[in-house]
Chains A and B, each alone.
Chain A
Amino acid sequence: MRDTILFKYVLSLGDDALISAQRLAQWAYKAPFLEEDIALSNISLDLFGRANFLLEYAAELKGENTTADDLAFKRDERKFTNLLMCEHPNGNFADTIVCRFFLDAYDKLFFYTLSKSRDKQLASIAAKAIKETTYHYRHSSNWVIRLGDGTEGSHRKVQEAINNLWTFTGEFFKMTQTDIVMMKKKVGVDRKALKIEWDKTINDVCKEATLRIPENSFMTTGGREGIHTEHLGHLLSDMQYLQRAYPDATW
């Protein structure tokens, strides 16, 4: 392998996109109304596209004729290093919107910094991601405001979602050994440094939405080390079923 650390880094970013995409795709034909069904599916498609760029790059770094599909369909749960927020079940519409809102706000900052990476390939994938994430963020943040500043019921649901998902936000800014090496090489992003700006974004939107940010500071982490919640295994068993049952099937 050309560069083990870079491979791990690119793979974790590919996993974030892939697992998010798969999770969002589970809304298809089940969203609260048609326009939202199409919106969530479109966002899912963007994320699948992003996952494809990143996993193709990771496969190239790994060599040995590895393909992006091998990485997506033939790895076990513990080998996935996506952030835990990405695998969280969709729950109700407010849960999904809050989950996306936290991630979109993070992605916007993350990919902006990554677009200046010394690694040309990562920089160009990031530049493409920023444009799409800007739309995704607009969608999720507008919904947070509409639901938060909406009816008593919608306000309660979106506040509950914030309270439940808050524990997974700490991981966004926790630097791993891989992150540190990549940052020092000016390839990767100093995720810790993104927190101030992210907090500000979340605070501003929540204020407008009349929502409260939880005070509890216990953060659940582990995704980047391959330690997942019980939800990822179920997601993978569905996503990987075909390649597991009929290895190397093509159509």
Chain B
Amino acid sequence: MVKAVSKDFIWELLEKIPDPEIPAVSIVDLGITREVIFKDDQIHITITPTYSGCPAISFMKKEIVRSLEQNGINNYQIHTTLSPPWTTDWMSDEVKAKLSDAGIAPPGKLVHCPQCDTKNVEVISEFGSTACKALYKCNDCQEPFHHFKQF
């Protein structure tokens, strides 16, 4: 059965799905959901992986399916695209602020400590707990923190 819904409604649903590794932001915030198209009674949703090896992508797909079906929507198709390759440039300032509030220094040339805002920081490891984050340490407040890498 085809349920009549609006595109905005689909986007609203997607915006409620948090990134499984950084729950402070949604998959829409990160630019993982690229497109929602209505065609021939089907809702086509296109997503793109962040890093090639990001294990979260299949989980996100399942979350999208779950959310759609919970809302009685079953006429959908989910596609994956690699092009254009995902970039942190798609993150808005608002999303970067959300990351900062969650204690993660947002992508950017200059890394600030998310606790005390100093630029007096040093990198501990280029690779943090997930591929998208690097591990830093603040030399002023001494707090360790994650930096969402410019990518």
Q: Which A residues are within 8 Å of any B CB, using their own CB? A: 35-36, 38-39, 42-50, 52-53, 120, 123-125, 127-129, 131-132, 135, 138-139
Q: In the complex the two chains form, what is the Cα distance from A125 to B80 in whole Å?
A: 12
In angstroms, how far is the closest chain A Cβ from the Cβ of B88?
10
Q: Which one of A35, A46, A53 lies within 8 Å of B82 (CB-CB)?
A: A53
Interface 1/0s, chain B 99-126, versus A by CB < 8 A?
0000000000000000000000000111
Q: Which one of B51, B55, B82, B130 lies within 8 Å of A127 (CB-CB)?
A: B82
Known: A48-B53, A127-B84, A131-B151. 20 other contacts (CB 8 A): A35-B125, A35-B135, A36-B125, A38-B129, A39-B127, A42-B131, A45-B51, A45-B55, A46-B51, A46-B53, A47-B52, A48-B52, A49-B51, A49-B52, A49-B53, A50-B52, A120-B83, A127-B82, A127-B83, A128-B82
Chain B's interface: helix, strand, loop or mixed, by majority?
loop
B49 within 8 A of A: yes
Instruction: Report the interface size class on chain B.
Output: 20 to 34
Q: Which one of B49, B84, B87, B125 lies within 8 Å of A49 (CB-CB)?
A: B49
The interface residues of chain B lying within 8 Å CB-to-CB of A49 are 49, 51-54
Q: In the complex the two chains form, what is the Cα distance from A82 to B54 in whole Å?
A: 23
B85 within 8 A of A: yes
The interface residues of chain B lying within 8 Å CB-to-CB of A43 are 127
In angstroms, how far is the closest chain B Cβ from the Cβ of A181?
25
Q: A45-B53, A49-B51, A132-B51 are in contact. Are A38 and B127 (CB under 8 A)?
A: yes
Chain A's interface: helix, strand, loop or mixed, by majority?
helix
Q: Which B residues are within 8 Å of any A CB, using their own CB? A: 49, 51-55, 81-87, 124-131, 135, 149, 151
The interface residues of chain B lying within 8 Å CB-to-CB of A120 are 83
Q: In the complex the two chains form, what is the Cα distance from A223 to B58 in whole Å?
A: 32
Q: In the complex the two chains form, what is the Cα distance from A28 to B63 in whole Å?
A: 29
The interface residues of chain B lying within 8 Å CB-to-CB of A47 are 52-53
Q: In the complex the two chains form, what is the Cα distance from A48 to B124 in whole Å?
A: 25
Of B83, B124, B130, B149, most buried by chain A (CB within 10 Å of CB) is: B83
Considering the complex, give the chain B residue whose CB is closest to the CB of A48.
B53
Q: Is the CB of B85 within 8 A of A124?
A: yes
Q: Which one of A35, A38, A129 lies within 8 Å of B52 (CB-CB)?
A: A129
12 contacts between A and B (CB under 8 A): A35-B135, A38-B129, A39-B125, A39-B126, A42-B130, A42-B131, A47-B52, A48-B53, A52-B52, A125-B82, A128-B82, A135-B126
The interface residues of chain A lying within 8 Å CB-to-CB of B151 are 131
Q: In the complex the two chains form, what is the Cα distance from A127 to B87 in whole Å?
A: 11
The interface residues of chain A lying within 8 Å CB-to-CB of B87 are 131
Of A43, A45, A47, most buried by chain B (CB within 10 Å of CB) is: A45
Considering the complex, give the chain A residue whose CB is closest to the CB of B84.
A127
In angstroms, how far is the closest chain B Cβ from the Cβ of A221?
28
